[in-house]
Amino acid sequence: MKKILFRKILLDYLKFFIISLSSASIIIWVFQAVNFLDIMIEDGRDYTVYIKYSLLSLPKIINKIYPFALFFSLFYVTTKYEISNELIIFWNFGVHKIELINFIVKVSIIFMIIQILLASLIVPSTQDMARSFLRTSSINFFGNFIKPQRFNDTIKNVTIYSEKKDLNGNLYNLYLKKETDVENFQITYAKKGFFKEINKFPILVLFDGQTITVNDGQTTNIGFTKSDFPLKNLEANTMTYIKTQELSTKNLFLCIEILRKNKSDIINTNIENCTKQNLNNIYKEFYKRLIVPLYIPLLTLIPLLLIVSSKESSNYNKIRLSTFLIGLFSIIFSETTIRFISDILLFNFTISVIPIMIVIFLYLFFLKNFGIRKFKL
């Protein structure tokens, strides 16, 4: 009978957790996707790029919502069981409160492992995929990203400025600068221009202007009545280097090991962003992936404070409010401690063991409260 009761409460936890996690994630994803849509349109990206890029951001959102959804689910279901007297059924069938707590602790370890896998494997890989996908995607709608009276550098090494743009997409008083490097560049002025495609390749057609070319210190000036500015092989000016949060967890380990062993300020590694200057961010990213999930057992134990006192107690509502606030504070605390991570290993270790120590303390509190001195987890 105990197994049936444990299975029932677990299913209720899972059901509400999945609903709350998916609902909150989708709502946040939709708002974020709208922002992505504006960026993609301004950058002249295809809608398929927008869809794939926004979908790849979903694991990151889920990982962020995960602790909130888990705590809220356990708090809600435990409160529901307490108010509807369903927990009395547990006690009447011989389930001791500490047995329920032990069961929830075991379940919390599974939830913790899931978030570690999500934070350390899935999120970094999808973030890297999203960045790589955006970097290698082409610009399809060139007319979209040109805004009048605004310098635009969406295209790599090319700056475009237009004083005016009409409803037909015609551009007036254009300025273009194409750079090969700092000392070699080409500047073009034109009175009018518009985008068109020839054999599916985009071209900016320019009228009544001149082109100034600087090449190895030599300057040439050529006037024209009509000139085609090809955009076939130009890349998007997307960030090409890998961010710290996009590094694999394996590379984070390797980078920390390399930087700890090497005392020199200049270190040559095959890992991007693996520098002494970035060491603090590397430690923070490591903490986010492997230490923050250690708060999951704590967030599953906090709602069980509700079973310490009966709902008939005069201060039960205060206990319920306090329990919710403690859980909320724990989530905020787990996120804010990231900013205190530094390159001092002893200090980082001290911060890292905080969730483990609190879980032990809370578990001992339950043991003392329920009058059990010998237990088996």
163-220 residue pLDDT tens: 888 877 788 888 888 887 767 888 888 888 887 777 767 788 889 988 888 887 788 8
In a domain, 237, yes or no: no
Give the integer Cα–Cα distance in Å for 31 and 186.
41
On whether both 224 and 355 belong to a single domain, the answer is no
In a domain, 376, yes or no: no
What are the tokens at 248? 């694999």
Return the biggest CA–CA distance within the chain: 94
Confidence of residue 19 (pLDDT cuts 50, 70, 90): very high
Task: Say whether pLDDT at 43 is over 60.
Answer: no
In a domain, 375, yes or no: no
Residue whose tokens read 């969730």: 355
On whether both 6 and 72 belong to a single domain, the answer is yes
Average pLDDT of the segment spanning 39-54: 66
What are the tokens at 369? 């409260």
Given the DSSP bridges, would you call strands 201-215 and 185-198 parallel, antiparallel or unpaired?
antiparallel
Give helix 47-56 / helix 2-42 axis angle, nearest 10°: 140
Of the listed ranges 184-188, 323-327, 371-375, the least confidently predicted one is 371-375
On whether both 204 and 269 belong to a single domain, the answer is no
What is the total count of domains within the chain? 2
Average pLDDT of the segment spanning 60-76: 94
- Which among 320, 326, 321 has a CA at the least distance from the CA of 295? 326
In a domain, 235, yes or no: no
What are the tokens at 257? 């090991």
Q: Which of 16-30, 138-152, 250-264, 331-345 has the largest mean confidence?
A: 16-30
On whether both 194 and 76 belong to a single domain, the answer is no
What percent of the chain stands above pLDDT 70? 85
On whether both 18 and 103 belong to a single domain, the answer is yes
Confidence of residue 373 (pLDDT cuts 50, 70, 90): very low
- At which of 230, 261, 289 does a domain end? 230
On whether both 110 and 166 belong to a single domain, the answer is no
On whether both 127 and 207 belong to a single domain, the answer is no
The SS3 call for residue 53 is helix
Residue with the larger pLDDT of the pair 59 and 158: 59
Average pLDDT of the segment spanning 341-351: 84
On whether both 67 and 180 belong to a single domain, the answer is no
- At which of 205, 230, 255 does a domain end? 230
Confidence of residue 375 (pLDDT cuts 50, 70, 90): very low
Residue-wise pLDDT for 116-157, tens only, equals: 999 999 999 998 888 777 665 555 555 556 777 777 776 777
Residue-wise pLDDT for 94-106, tens only, equals: 888 889 999 999 9
Q: Cβ contacts of residue 186 below 8 Å, gap of 6+?
A: 176, 177, 178, 179, 211, 212, 213, 214
In a domain, 294, yes or no: yes
- At which of 198, 230, 262 does a domain end? 230
Burial 201-226 (b: 16+ CB within 10 A, else e): ebbbbbbebebeeeeeeeeeeeeeee
Distance of CA 8 to the CA centre of its chain: 33
- Which among 347, 339, 342, 337 has a CA at the least distance from the CA of 283? 342
On whether both 67 and 13 belong to a single domain, the answer is yes
Average pLDDT of the segment spanning 349-363: 92
Confidence of residue 236 (pLDDT cuts 50, 70, 90): low
On whether both 350 and 277 belong to a single domain, the answer is yes
State residue 251's pLDDT score: 86
In a domain, 333, yes or no: yes
What does the DSSP 8-state code read for residue 132? Answer: H
Cα–Cα distances (Å) from 138 to 55, 154, 159, 264, 309, in that order, read 18, 11, 17, 40, 62
Task: Say whether pLDDT at 240 is over 60.
Answer: no
Confidence of residue 39 (pLDDT cuts 50, 70, 90): low
Beta bridge partners of 201: 198
What are the tokens at 344? 């001092």
- Which among 15, 111, 14, 29 has a CA at the least distance from the CA of 62? 29
Beta bridge partners of 158: 178
In a domain, 236, yes or no: no
What does the DSSP 8-state code read for residue 237? Answer: -
Residue with the larger pLDDT of the pair 195 and 353: 353
In a domain, 318, yes or no: yes
Please check whether residue 358 is in contact with residue 298, taking contact to mean a CB–CB distance below 8 angstroms. Answer: yes
Residue-wise pLDDT for 252-310, tens only, equals: 888 888 887 776 655 666 777 777 788 888 889 989 999 999 999 999 999 999 888 77
Give the integer Cα–Cα distance in Å for 267 and 265.
6
On whether both 42 and 84 belong to a single domain, the answer is yes
Residue 285: CB atoms within 10 A of its CB come to 25
The SS3 call for residue 92 is helix
Confidence of residue 374 (pLDDT cuts 50, 70, 90): very low
Cα–Cα distances (Å) from 39 to 48, 54, 257, in that order, read 14, 11, 38
Of the listed ranges 109-123, 226-240, 254-268, 337-351, the least confidently predicted one is 226-240
On whether both 109 and 15 belong to a single domain, the answer is yes
Give the integer Cα–Cα distance in Å for 206 and 209.
7
State residue 138's pLDDT score: 55
Q: How confident is the prediction for the chain on average, in pLDDT?
A: 83
Distance of CA 98 to the CA centre of its chain: 37
Average pLDDT of the segment spanning 361-368: 90
Range of the domain at 270: 2-136+242-369
The SS3 call for residue 146 is coil
